[in-house]
Amino acid sequence: MIDFTIPDDIQQQRKLFEMVARDVMRPIARYYDEHEHEIPWEYVNRMWPLVKMEWAQRVTRAERQLAGEKKEKKEQKSGKRKYYPNLQLVHMVEMLCWGDAGLYLCTPGPALAGFAIDAAGTPEQKVRLLKRFAEGDPKWGAMAITEPGAGSDVSAISTTAVRDGDEWVINGEKIFITNGWLALEASDGLVVVWATVDKSAGRAGIKSFIVPAGTPGAKVTKREHKLGIRASDTAALVFEDCRIPLDNILGSPEVQRREDKRGFKAAMQTFDMSRPVVAAGAMGVARAAIEFVKEKLAEQGIDIPYGVPKHKLSAVQRDVLEMEAQYKMAWLLTVRAAVMTDERQPNALQASMAKVKAGKAVTWITQKAVEILGPLGYSTEYLAEKWMRDAKINDIFEGTGQINTLIVARRILGYSSRELK
């Protein structure tokens, strides 16, 4: 039987992050929406000790893996509950985005770079690279994939990495990189750069590389102004003869011409891990909108009855019930995809399903919230209009809704990317 009970430790964690969301994020949400590109140090400094603790645990697990996982296997035999880091993560992200989605994206830590390192890195690399996020001052990670000529089609990446002795030389341009400036210029962070080592090899030639902050040849050329999630740092990066050590390629340093696609597949697994997290963020925004609408309706004496036939409900009551239903459907898909990651089960289909549903649901829910609230919902007196602006990005980044719908269709129907476009 499926058990939807939230484990006690995750419930305690949710209470902690609810305090951060309510007491730290909500009060400053409007300010940082209107002061784009300022670092929200009130939030960053509150979160950094918690982030360091989480990544210290992940580093410990990577060290166990290096040691043959003997201790972990012993714990499993002793009957201790299995560790579910991704389930914890989606609960944390949902709660923080209930506080504010833009501020959440400023959370210090490896972010998407961490997913890439976990998906494609060797145990040695996981320990070496992630350990920097378990100590010291706040720092950020970023993942650089999108290019002017390669958006949804990741296989069209043109950024190159050429081996020169004991180094890789990277050249290319990346755009719309979350935390790009924070990772490269505002902290001692790092960026995971996707580049091709052999264009003629197609997808097989695409690899992921670690570029630490301060590396000559890596620079930020632009910081975007956006419709929503304005507190979030979004940057364009350029790599000009950017040299990194040979072992900064994620995975094996040995790259052979026209090898199998393990490098590309490992990189794509990053999305299988990150898409449920994006979906969770969307659910936090959706829940904020639903709760606020119900609160304002209650002030007007309008309750939301359950178990009543639709024809006996008002149009507004039906809308709110549909908002809740859409939220719960997307949330269950999100939790399933996250748990599958923790169980080391393939979840490409489930991750894309969660991402598609969450993106569509939060967009509709927040628009409906503004509609129900009327002119005040459209004004800056409420955060509802901000939630509507913040919501749309969830249908765009980490693979657009259209691309993820294609992935779902291909997986269900058994078609390849060449057969179904």
Question: Given pLDDT bands bounded at 50, 70 and 90, which one contains residue 350?
Answer: very high
User: What are the CA-CA distances from residue 196 to residues 48, 76, 172, 279 (Å)?
Assistant: 34, 40, 10, 29
Place of tokens 């997913």: 115
Interatomic CA distance for residues 351 and 358, integer angstroms? 11
Helix 384-391 crosses helix 262-299 at what angle (to 10 degrees)?
A: 160
Average pLDDT, the chain: 90
Helix/strand number for the chain, H first, E second = 15, 7
279: enclosing H helix or E strand: helix 262-299
pLDDT for position 252: 67
Domains of the chain: 8-248 (2.40.110.10), 262-413 (1.20.140.10)
For the chain, how many residues are written? 421
pLDDT tens for 144-172 read 999 998 877 777 899 999 999 999 999 99
Does residue 25 register a pLDDT over 60?
A: yes
Place of tokens 């390192």: 117
Task: Provide the percentage of residues in the chain whose pLDDT is more than 90.
Answer: 72
Of the listed ranges 37-41, 68-72, 114-118, 276-280, the least confidently predicted one is: 68-72
Stronger pLDDT, 61 or 394, i.e. the higher one: 394
Alpha helices in 21-148 (DSSP H): 26-34, 41-66, 70-77, 85-99, 101-104, 111-120, 123-130
Interatomic CA distance for residues 257 and 378, integer angstroms? 56
pLDDT for position 263: 57
pLDDT for position 256: 54
- Using CB atoms within 10 Å of the CB of residue 263, give its burial: 0 to 12 exposed, 13 to 18 middle, 19+ buried: buried
Nearest CA-CA partner of 397 in 242, 245, 277, 249: 277
Q: What is the mean pLDDT of residues 218-243?
A: 97
Question: Given pLDDT bands bounded at 50, 70 and 90, which one contains residue 78?
Answer: very low
Given 34, 147, 398, 419, which residue is catalytic? Answer: 398
Does residue 421 register a pLDDT over 60?
A: yes
Does residue 182 register a pLDDT over 90?
A: yes
pLDDT for position 409: 96
Amino acid (one-letter) located at 162: V
Q: What is the mean pLDDT of residues 68-92?
A: 68
pLDDT for position 267: 64
pLDDT for position 154: 77
Stronger pLDDT, 179 or 268, i.e. the higher one: 179
Does residue 30 register a pLDDT over 80?
A: yes
Question: Given pLDDT bands bounded at 50, 70 and 90, which one contains residue 1?
Answer: very low
Residue 191 structure tokens: 């960026």
pLDDT for position 254: 59
pLDDT for position 253: 56
Does residue 258 register a pLDDT over 70?
A: no
pLDDT for position 260: 46
* 324 classed as catalytic: no
Does residue 344 register a pLDDT over 90?
A: no
Q: What is the mean pLDDT of residues 380-400?
A: 95
pTM of full prediction above 0.85: yes
pLDDT for position 339: 92
Residue 53 structure tokens: 């603790």
pLDDT tens for 329-341 read 999 999 999 999 9
pLDDT for position 262: 53
